[in-house]
Chain A
Amino acid sequence: MNVIWEGLLAAVRMLISLDPEVLEITWRTIQVSVTATIISIGIGLPIGTWLALTRFRSRGFWVSLVNFGMGLPPVVVGLVTWLMLARYGPFGMLELLYTPTAIVLAQSIIASPIVAGFSMAAIQAVNPKLLLQIRAMGTTRFQFLLLLLWEARLGILSAIIAGFGGVISEVGASMMVGGNIRGYTRVLTTATVLEVSKGNLELAAALSIILLTLTFVIVSLLSHWQQKKSAS
């Protein structure tokens, strides 16, 4: 209990004193997680929409694959990404291992199935007759998709929140492909693990509290927007 209290005080001290290292780690965490979330929207939303709207023979397999992907262990994603980006791996020539880009890649792989799965569910929840009505308006394919996404927007926002939650909280993949390099690839989760391993529990608690606060603020903003849309 004392550690948490000390951590809370340390976190407040760091934020008030604008500790440059903590600010830099926090800013990198935001950059990496938001970028990964945006990429996962770009990948997951079209896949979720496609699976929700189409019927084909192997659809069940793809839906199972997406649902399986929603529970992918970050450490496994980290290992696979590491093998892909390692010097002797198929993408080794890109020299991305132990860079923030590698963390973004791994986190995008983690979040994309989450966004796809939740988006698929959100779109499938739209009244199928409304889809007929939208088509009967004389929509082009693009106009149809725009109206469909508008109707499913609350569920899609949930998908984005879930995807963001998945990436900002993961540590295994970031540690493996980022390497937790000070001033370069260190993010709040990997910094916390490091401080725990060094026995600096107050500092680890402080970093955790900053991470929690950051997550809470971003998810609250998205939730507020979502609920505002829901209530309007």
Chain B
Amino acid sequence: MPITLTASRLKLERSGKLILDIDRLALASGETLALVGPNGAGKSTLLQVLAFLIQPDTGAIELDGEPISNGNRLTAIRRMALVFQEALLLDTTVQQNIEIPLRIRGVSRHDAQIRSVEWMHRLGISPLARKQAKKLSGGEAQRASIARALALQPQLLLMDEPFSALDYPTRKGLLIELSRILPETGITTLFVTHDFSEIPFLTRRVAVLFEGRIIREGDIQEILGEAAVSLSTWAPWDNAAISNPSA
């Protein structure tokens, strides 16, 4: 079951500098939100705060209306999956990389194996099951990383520029697959990106983060239409992808 995510009055300071100042950020159940912004805007930090990897100075995060505190933090983390820009695989085989987090979350060995086989198949990496993770190419490793996240059947998926290190064909292939998988699984998703051409594949809802604050939030056409000039300087723009994501 997908869940809602609500973050309110999040503040985080480092060395006297305000890194995050989020008044309110909400994701409805099953919704996908793209978070964009220039380097140093605080996108990755916000994602790590939402993943409970960084403790904010103030503010509250709720999952399905339930406030998360120290007491239920581990349970909350186990409802999520996080995909980083780097694949960050463990030094073992691809299949074990997918099964280990499942075992950590209490899934039986048998079920973990079934799920890993299923998701390796769906992401086209079944032939790599017994290959050592460190011998994978960048695209293969990121597929394994996404398979690891989706096999967890998370209620909330957080992705931090998961495609930015990949070449264009690999990136596009993965985006097309995710554009099928996310609506089908209904996972509530927040993904950070630098590349606006990726957004239309996964969602139309965009939030713009600037100097730790969400300065705009809304439909992609509306947001990018308003800020087209400045946004076009951040990343290459693919108009064709917006009009036809699966093209």
Contacts and interface: CB of A to CB of B under 8 A. Distances in A.
Nearest to B148: A137
Contacts of A135: 53, 77
B51 A136 contact: yes
Contacts of B81: 136
Contact of A140 (B51, B74, B84, B132): B74
Given A143-B104, A232-B132, A136 B90 contact: no
B90 A138 contact: no
Contacts of B91: 150-151
Interface in A122-164: 127, 129-130, 132-140, 143, 147, 150-151
Interface string B37-53: 00000000000100101
B177 interface: no
Contact of A138 (B48, B86, B104): B104
A133 B82 contact: yes
A143 B104 CA distance: 7
A127 B88 contact: yes
A159 B16 CA distance: 40
Contacts of B121: none
Nearest to A143: B104
A133 B91 CA distance: 13
> DSSP majority for the A interface?
helix
A129 B84 contact: yes
Interface in B34-86: 48, 51, 53, 74, 77-78, 80-82, 84, 86
B100 interface: yes
B101 interface: yes
Size band of the interface chain A makes with B: 10 to 19
Interface string B153-176: 000000000000000000000000
A138 B88 contact: no
A129 B77 contact: no
A129 B101 contact: no
Contacts of B90: 130, 134, 147, 150-151
A59 to B, nearest CB: 18
A132 B91 CA distance: 15
B161 to A, nearest CB: 12
Contact of A136 (B53, B86, B92, B132): B53
Contacts of A133: 82, 84, 88
B138 to A, nearest CB: 15
Contacts of B105: 137-138
Nearest to A151: B91
B77 A136 contact: yes
Contacts of B101: 137-138
Contacts of A136: 51, 53, 77, 80-82
A132 B78 contact: no
B100 to A, nearest CB: 7
Contacts of B132: 232
B156 to A, nearest CB: 11
Nearest to A135: B53
A133 B86 CA distance: 10
Contacts of A151: 90-91
Contacts of B53: 132, 135-136
B15 to A, nearest CB: 14
A87 B78 CA distance: 57
Interface string B104-126: 11000000000000000000000
Contacts of B84: 129, 132-133
B71 to A, nearest CB: 14
Nearest to B51: A136
A75 B124 CA distance: 61
Nearest to B135: A232
A129 B104 contact: no
Given A132-B53, A138-B80, 20 more contacts: A127-B86, A129-B84, A129-B86, A129-B88, A130-B88, A130-B90, A132-B82, A133-B84, A134-B90, A135-B53, A135-B77, A136-B51, A136-B53, A136-B80, A136-B81, A136-B82, A137-B101, A138-B74, A140-B74, A147-B90
Q: Which 6 A-B residue pairings sit nearest by Cβ, starting from the closest? A: A138-B78, A136-B82, A133-B88, A137-B101, A138-B77, A130-B88
10 contacts: A132-B84, A133-B84, A134-B90, A135-B53, A136-B51, A136-B82, A137-B101, A138-B101, A147-B90, A150-B90
